[in-house]
Structure 1
């Protein structure tokens, strides 16, 4: 026969009143200490000792409710769920941002928008005041979330230039110049028929990389050597290269809009029997973990993804502290890293 035990009563949470009673001071004096106000050293020492004795833990949730602060910052990514997990740049941006937010005692809340329904849900979430600020990655043109940020006045920082008439804080790199320079370097290796797998043209990064590619080639630019894909992803790069080879079997250089896309380009070239870099030179963009996984290792543009995330988070933290921040954009360096693929 089993032994029946009486349920143990749950331990009551210590309150400010308990601390005040133990310390022999008023509740208001305890509140001043907890909120960083001035009290005598004697009263402060008594209160700190009482906190340890009664085991008082501040109720942060209740305090935040009174202060109308959540102590949370949303990290919003406009990408499909699969790409969020696959793209090492997004992970690096997120970790960089989280380091800064953690140091500021702020919690990151990740929000991935993969559909119109997701976008509507996240917009409602922002309107509900569940986060104090937001970092937005991959914002697109006519983005309802960006519109909500402007309407609500939410402290925000964008990774990449938001396509809006309202000046908003953002951080990124000079995609146009970086794409132009690496395309020129590819052409200098003797390539005569240089094509591009262009991605994500509905946001500033993709559009600027294509514009830089066109600028680099000048009069030799051939629009038939550009294949457009919607996302920075491996499988799309593979399919696009197959299409490009059908259009122009004599292509001898390819600029891929990202390293993940370039990995797909290399696979398609290998399947077609072409060697890299002898038959076709290939360059990418990002200098992500994809670049060194490729064979041969990928020539690419170094994007300081972690640094971008850190700077974006710093812009949000500064706004939460009431500081002015630049609204004309913060650009980080993005040097070319030349390897064996070109």
Structure 2
């Protein structure tokens, strides 16, 4: 029978001190970036760390400081949407960059069903993260309420009506949707519909409201296809529904670029030319917009900046122990391309 391989002993701060010929306290001051250590002692300690292979025990340090050094990014979407939506990736990268600059680790938590909500709620209550960023929160979302109850530093990307206790960062979805719809109508379109999605969250409701604002008395609810998620499949299904309801439709506002890309596919299958027969606009200015044929007219939202700003607001709370009272709105712009 083969004997088990002995476990390698982890180098300690005492090993570093012995190798460098200094006290443990001097090593600790160097590790913590404190002053009052001579250049010679600092050089000897750095050489000793390299020689003995010392790696700082972050878990022990966090236990002593009552800090995990981690921030959760909670995404309340099905797995398919997480993969399909480039905005989520951009938010994640923006948040990660801001957290990395502050020496914090990003922890991604995905919620697809009620069981996930219970699991994540328990995780958050266990002290494994110092704060949270919530993406795609919905009405009645138990996670945002649990975070408020835990008094965990947190920021929501978006503004659900049911959770006023948490600070937020977002965009003016309603105003942006109104502006791009008005521009679509200004191209001479007379029968304009919308593929609305995500109506269980503020972004989806606000984009539909902005579309309604732009059309005013011309708004026709029968020209709105309501879909559950911001996905390519929703665009295919929604466009097919609108073509059945109104074969003479000549303009479509899709609630996201992924939805718009699906709509373009459905229109190609139906033999409809874009933009000659029908103009299509999206929302996000994601990679879907540039890959689409023709390239999408859309609303550019700063997804990466949303993630970075949310991370900064969470870190401000972690450091101060308080919560900002207000949210932050970031600017959007209409980007006009060939699809309309």
Indicate whether the TM-score tops 0.5: yes
Which residue pairs with 2:241 in the alignment?
243
Shift of 1:131: 1.0
Aligned with residue 224 of structure 1, among 219, 222, 225: 222
Aligned with residue 16 of structure 2, among 2, 16, 19: 19
Between 1:237-246 and 1:196-205, the stretch displaced more is 237-246
Count of residues paired in the alignment? 339
Unaligned runs of 5+ in 1: none
Which residue pairs with 1:35 in the alignment?
32
Which residue pairs with 2:76 in the alignment?
78
Paired with 2:293 and 2:135, the residues of 1 have a C-alpha distance of: 29
Which residue pairs with 2:280 in the alignment?
282
Shift of 1:147: 0.7
Deviations 1:41-84 (A, max 9, x none): 37656655544454432211111122221111111111111111
Relative to structure 1, is the Cα distance of residues 33 and 249 closer, same or farther in structure 2, using a 3 angstrom cutoff?
A: same
Shift of 1:151: 0.9
Paired with 1:254 and 1:48, the residues of 2 have a C-alpha distance of: 63
Query: SS at the partner of 1:163?
Result: coil
Paired with 1:238 and 1:331, the residues of 2 have a C-alpha distance of: 31
Shift of 1:257: 0.3
Shift of 1:167: 3.5
Unaligned runs of 5+ in 2: none
Deviations 1:302-321 (A, max 9, x none): 11111111111121222222
Which residue pairs with 2:257 in the alignment?
259
Aligned with residue 310 of structure 2, among 291, 309, 312: 312
Aligned with residue 109 of structure 2, among 99, 108, 111: 111
Aligned Cα root-mean-square deviation (Å): 2.2
Which residue pairs with 1:335 in the alignment?
333
Which residue pairs with 1:157 in the alignment?
155
* Contact 1:308 1:332 survives alignment (8 Å): yes
Relative to structure 1, is the Cα distance of residues 260 and 5 closer, same or farther in structure 2, using a 3 angstrom cutoff?
A: closer
Paired with 1:40 and 1:244, the residues of 2 have a C-alpha distance of: 73
Relative to structure 1, is the Cα distance of residues 63 and 243 closer, same or farther in structure 2, using a 3 angstrom cutoff?
A: same
Paired with 2:269 and 2:46, the residues of 1 have a C-alpha distance of: 70
Paired with 1:157 and 1:299, the residues of 2 have a C-alpha distance of: 30
Paired with 1:245 and 1:14, the residues of 2 have a C-alpha distance of: 69
* Contact 2:148 2:165 survives alignment (8 Å): no
Is 2:216 aligned against 1:213? no
Which residue pairs with 2:190 in the alignment?
192
Is 2:86 aligned against 1:88? yes
Aligned with residue 295 of structure 2, among 271, 294, 297: 297
Which residue pairs with 1:166 in the alignment?
164
Paired with 2:300 and 2:83, the residues of 1 have a C-alpha distance of: 20
Paired with 1:52 and 1:241, the residues of 2 have a C-alpha distance of: 62
Shift of 1:105: 1.4
Shift of 1:10: 4.6
Paired with 2:244 and 2:8, the residues of 1 have a C-alpha distance of: 73
Query: SS at the partner of 1:157?
Result: strand
Paired with 2:219 and 2:2, the residues of 1 have a C-alpha distance of: 83
